[in-house]
Amino acid sequence: MLEGHENVVSAVTFSRDGKRVVSASWDRTARIWEAGSGRLLTTLDGHRDWVLDVSTTPEDKSLVSASQHAARVWSTTSFEQTAESPGLGGASVNTVGMSSDGQWLATGGRDGFVRLWKVGEPSPLREIGGFDSWVNRVTISPDSRRLAAGTRAGKILVFDLPSGDASVSFTAHQSRQVTALGFSPDGKSLASGGFDQTAILWDSATGDELAKLTGHQGAVTALAWSPDGGLLATGERHGSLHLWNLRQNNRLLAKITAHTDNKLGFSVTALAFSPDGKRIVSGAYDSLVKIWPVPDE
């Protein structure tokens, strides 16, 4: 258990070598932890509002953190800020998603727009509109060739990058918010979580439903794919973590009482697998970051 954040943990990730955990929080900081011991290595200050997402570059040389107002690039050796992209939109930004290489980010707005940014550039490369409600979640595929957005009205839209051309659009969670969204490692599938207490797997090219994962006791508020795409972790509003074996007919492998604090509403807000697939890191409304072993299949 990693303690130190003073507000909701909004995003978590492992470094590419699996030795560090990076977390982002509404307390306006990102923090870097030693994954083995849980020791806090540094706190990255500078954002003036909630930090919504974090990503490490492939060589683990840099870390990108993004808030409603700006993206900041940090050295992972000196922990100094090396670059900044201001002007992401401010309070109108509802969600941020970054590419796996830390070079691109997408913002989803309360104005119904998705904007695609190149980290380091002051203006968006693309503005994509036409949404019928707030954009709740955005995610970029591992190869950075597609972007998916989920809305408060329950729709999912997929776009080609960098053109911004619409690829497919479908209703995912009927009249319920899309509260979690993520591409599979090969980009062929898309997982969504909703206020209807389900997680659904989709063909990302056609929008066809592949499977529905049920049994959650609250809205599905976070999800993560294992590196090989064989497992899916889902976190729910009342703090439980579910682990699904997609190789075995979507069998529930484990349910973990993760962040309840014996109270309702302690949502799991962020999930990520380690690069070797043997650990999961979770963040939640209780301001805690926790690392869990993945049980044997």
What is the reported pLDDT for 92? 84
90 DSSP 8-state letter: G
- Of 3.40.50.300, 2.40.10.480, 3.30.365.10, 2.60.120.10, the CATH number of 131-214 is 2.40.10.480
Mean pLDDT of 46-60: 89
Report the percent of the chain where pLDDT is more than 70: 98
pLDDT in tens, 210-258: 999 999 988 999 999 999 999 999 999 888 899 999 999 999 999 988 8
Please determine, for residue 20, whether its predicted confidence score (pLDDT) is greater than 60.
Answer: yes
CA distance 135 to 155: 9
- What would the mean pLDDT of 93-109 be, rounded to a whole number? 87
The answer to whether 255 and 241 are in contact (CB under 8 A) is yes
pLDDT at residue number 212? 95
Lowest mean pLDDT among 64-78, 104-118, 156-170, 258-272: 258-272
Task: Give the mean pLDDT of the chain.
Answer: 91
Query: CATH 2.40.320: does it fit domain 215-297?
Result: no
User: Quick check: 273 pLDDT over 70?
Assistant: yes
Q: Is 103:119 a contact under the CB 8 Å cutoff?
A: yes
Instruction: Give every CB contact of residue 23 below 8 A, 6+ residues apart in sequence.
Output: 2, 5, 9, 11, 12, 30, 31, 33, 54, 270, 281, 283, 289
Strand order in the sheet with 70-75: 51-56, 62-67, 70-75, 81-86
Identify the pLDDT of residue 138.
93
State yes or no: pLDDT of 264 exceeds 70: no
* CATH 2.102.10.10, domain 1-126, yes or no: no
The tokens describing 224, both together, are: 């993560």
Topology agreement, domain 1-126 and domain 215-297: no
- Spans of all domains in the chain: 1-126, 131-214, 215-297
The per-residue pLDDT for range 167-183, each reduced to its tens digit, is 899 999 877 889 999 99
pTM (2 decimals)? 0.92
Report residue 285: phi and psi, to 5°.
-65, -20
